C-alpha cells in the first residue's frame, strides 16, 4: 500500500512538473501584447470551428455525395457489361458503344484479349479510388483496374470480361466525384477572412485608447506635460483614463501646495536670516562672532539645499540636452578640483530630459567623486530604450550596508565619505529625486577603479 501511494505521488509530481513546463513554454511562445492576445482569442475559436465543420463536411457530406455518384457510374458500367455479355456480336457492340455515349455519357471500347495493367500507386487523397473501387467490386464483380491519377478530368476504368476481352470505360471525373465542394470551402474561408478583418479593425479601435492611456501614464512618470490626453474607448477604459486624470490632478495639486508652502517658509526664514546678518554686520569684526557667522552661513546653505530638494526641479519643461556639452562642463569642474577625468559617449548625443535638472543630477554625482577621489571616469550610453550614465572613481567608496541609507534625506554618513559638503545630507536624495522624476533611478555599486560607481538609468 505504501509503495502504491509513493508511486501515485511520484506520478502526480511528474504530471504537475510536465504541466508547469508546458505552461512556461506557452508563455514564451505566446505574444505578450494585448492586441495580439485579443486577436488570438478571436482567431483560435474561429479556426477550430472551421476545422470541425470542414472535417464533418468532408467525412459526411462529401463522402456521401461521392458514394452516390460512384454508385450511379458503377450501375451504368454494370449495365454495359450485361449488354456486352448478352449481345456479344460486333454489330451489337457498336450499338452498345453508341448507347453508352449518348444515354450514359460514357466512352467505352472493347479490346481483344489481354491482361489488366498492374495497380497504380494510390494517391494521397484517395476518396475517389476507394469509393469507386468498392462500388465496382460490389456491382460489376469482375477484375478491374482504375486510373484516377492521370488526366484530372477523366477517370479510366478497365474491366476484364468473361471471354478475356477488356472493356475500357472513360468517364468524366465529376460523374463519380463531388468536385464542386471547393465552393463550400471558398465561401467558408472567404467569410472567415471578412469576419477576421472586421475583428481586427474593431480590436484596433479598442486597443488604441489603452495605448494612449499607457503612453500618458509613461509620460507623466517621466515628468513630461500631458496636454492632449482624453479618455476614449469602452466604458471601463474611460473609467481608467478618468481615474488617471484625477490622480494626476491630485499629485500636481499637492506639488503646487507644497511649493507654495515652501515659498512662504523660505520667505520667512530668509527674513530672519537677513536680520541675523544685519545684526552681525552692525556688531563689526568681532572674533567672538566668527562662529555665529559660520552658523548663519550653514543655515543659509541648509535652507537652500532643502528648498531645492523639495522643489525637485518639477516646474522645468522637458527639452534637449547634448551629452557632449554636459561632459565639457564636467571636465571644467574637474579642472577646478584638480582631478583627472575621462569621459566617453556611446549612441546619440542629444537626450530628451529636463536640461537644468538633469545637469544638476550628473553634476552632483561628479562633484562627490571629485571631492573624495583623484581619478574619475564618466561614461554615457544611449540605446533605443534607456540612457545609462556611470560615474566611477577611485575614492574610499561607501559600505554596501549604507548604500540605500545615503539616499534618505538628511542622512549623514559618519565614515570615510560624506556625500554632501554642506552637511545637510541631501546630495544623493536630490539626485535620486531628479532621476525618478524622469522615470529612472540612481544606484550605487563597487567601481572597477576601486571606489564607488554611481549609475543613472532613465528611459529615453
270-309 tens-digit pLDDT:
787 787 777 777 777 777 677 777 777 777 776 776 666 5
Residues of the chain under the 70 pLDDT cut? 1-13, 58-59, 90-91, 121-127, 149-152, 178-182, 222-224, 288, 302, 305-316, 410-426
CA distance 179 to 108: 23
Quote the cell numbers at residue 73. Answer: 457510374
> What's the CATH number for 230-311?
1.10.287.130
Closest CA to 426 of 406, 410, 438: 410
Residue 90 near residue 84, CB atoms below 8 Å? no
Quote the cell numbers at residue 228. Answer: 492632449
Residue spans of the domains in the chain: they are 1-30, 32-228, 230-311, 318-459
Which residue(s) pair with 172 in the sheet?
154
- Domain 318-459: CATH architecture, name and number where available: 2-Layer Sandwich (3.30)
32-70 burial, b if ≥16 CB within 10 A, otherwise e?
Answer: eeebeebbeebeeeeeeeeeeebeeeeeeebeeebbebb
pLDDT at 99: 84
pLDDT at 456: 93
pLDDT at 401: 85
Looking up cell 512538473 gives: 17
CA distance 457 to 427: 18
pLDDT at 416: 42
Closest CA to 421 of 304, 276, 335: 304
pLDDT at 12: 65
Quote the cell numbers at residue 447. Answer: 567601481
pLDDT at 457: 92
Looking up cell 552632483 gives: 364
Amino acid at each position: 500500500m505504501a509503495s502504491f501511494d509513493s508511486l501515485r505521488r511520484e506520478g502526480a509530481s511528474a504530471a504537475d512538473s510536465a504541466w508547469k513546463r508546458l505552461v512556461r513554454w506557452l508563455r514564451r511562445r505566446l505574444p505578450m501584447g494585448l492586441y495580439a492576445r485579443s486577436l488570438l482569442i478571436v482567431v483560435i475559436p474561429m479556426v477550430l470551428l472551421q476545422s470541425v465543420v470542414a472535417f464533418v463536411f468532408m467525412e459526411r457530406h462529401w463522402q456521401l455525395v461521392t458514394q452516390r455518384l460512384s454508385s450511379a457510374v458503377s450501375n451504368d458500367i454494370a449495365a454495359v457489361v450485361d449488354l456486352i455479355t448478352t449481345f456479344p456480336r460486333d454489330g451489337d457492340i457498336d450499338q452498345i458503344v453508341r448507347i453508352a455515349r449518348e444515354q450514359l455519357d460514357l466512352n467505352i471500347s472493347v479490346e481483344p484479349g489481354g491482361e489488366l495493367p498492374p495497380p497504380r500507386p494510390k494517391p494521397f487523397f484517395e476518396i475517389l479510388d476507394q469509393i469507386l473501387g468498392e462500388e465496382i467490386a460490389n456491382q460489376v464483380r469482375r477484375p478491374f483496374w482504375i486510373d484516377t491519377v492521370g488526366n484530372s478530368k477523366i477517370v479510366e476504368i478497365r474491366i476484364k470480361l468473361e471471354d478475356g476481352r477488356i472493356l475500357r470505360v472513360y468517364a468524366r471525373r465529376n460523374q463519380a466525384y463531388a468536385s464542386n465542394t471547393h465552393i463550400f470551402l471558398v465561401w467558408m474561408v472567404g467569410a472567415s477572412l471578412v469576419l477576421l478583418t472586421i475583428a481586427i479593425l474593431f480590436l484596433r479601435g479598442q486597443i488604441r485608447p489603452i495605448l494612449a492611456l499607457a503612453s500618458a501614464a509613461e509620460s507623466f512618470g517621466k515628468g513630461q506635460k500631458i496636454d492632449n490626453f482624453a479618455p476614449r474607448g469602452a466604458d471601463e477604459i474611460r473609467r481608467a483614463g478618468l481615474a488617471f486624470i484625477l490622480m494626476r490632478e491630485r499629485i500636481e495639486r499637492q506639488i503646487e501646495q507644497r511649493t507654495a508652502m515652501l515659498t512662504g517658509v523660505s520667505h520667512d526664514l530668509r527674513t530672519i536670516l537677513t536680520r541675523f546678518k544685519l545684526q552681525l554686520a552692525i556688531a563689526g569684526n568681532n572674533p567672538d562672532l566668527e562662529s555665529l557667522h559660520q552658523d548663519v552661513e550653514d543655515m543659509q546653505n541648509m535652507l537652500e539645499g532643502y528648498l531645492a530638494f523639495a522643489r525637485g526641479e518639477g516646474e522645468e519643461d522637458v527639452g534637449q540636452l547634448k551629452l557632449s556639452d554636459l561632459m565639457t562642463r564636467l571636465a571644467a569642474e574637474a579642472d577646478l578640483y584638480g582631478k583627472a577625468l575621462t569621459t566617453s559617449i556611446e549612441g546619440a548625443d542629444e537626450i530628451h530630459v529636463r536640461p537644468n535638472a538633469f545637469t544638476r543630477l550628473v553634476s552632483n554625482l561628479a562633484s562627490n567623486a571629485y571631492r573624495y577621489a583623484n581619478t574619475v571616469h564618466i561614461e554615457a550610453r544611449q540605446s533605443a530604450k534607456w540612457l545609462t550614465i556611470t560615474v566611477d572613481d577611485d575614492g574610499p567608496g561607501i559600505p554596501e550596508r549604507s548604500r540605500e541609507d545615503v539616499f534618505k534625506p538628511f542622512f549623514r554618513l559618519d565614515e570615510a565619505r560624506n556625500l554632501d559638503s554642506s552637511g545637510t545630507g541631501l546630495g544623493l536624495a536630490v539626485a535620486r529625486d531628479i532621476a525618478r522624476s524622469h522615470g529612472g533611478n540612481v544606484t550605487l555599486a563597487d567601481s572597477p577603479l576601486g571606489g564607488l560607481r554611481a549609475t543613472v538609468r532613465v528611459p529615453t
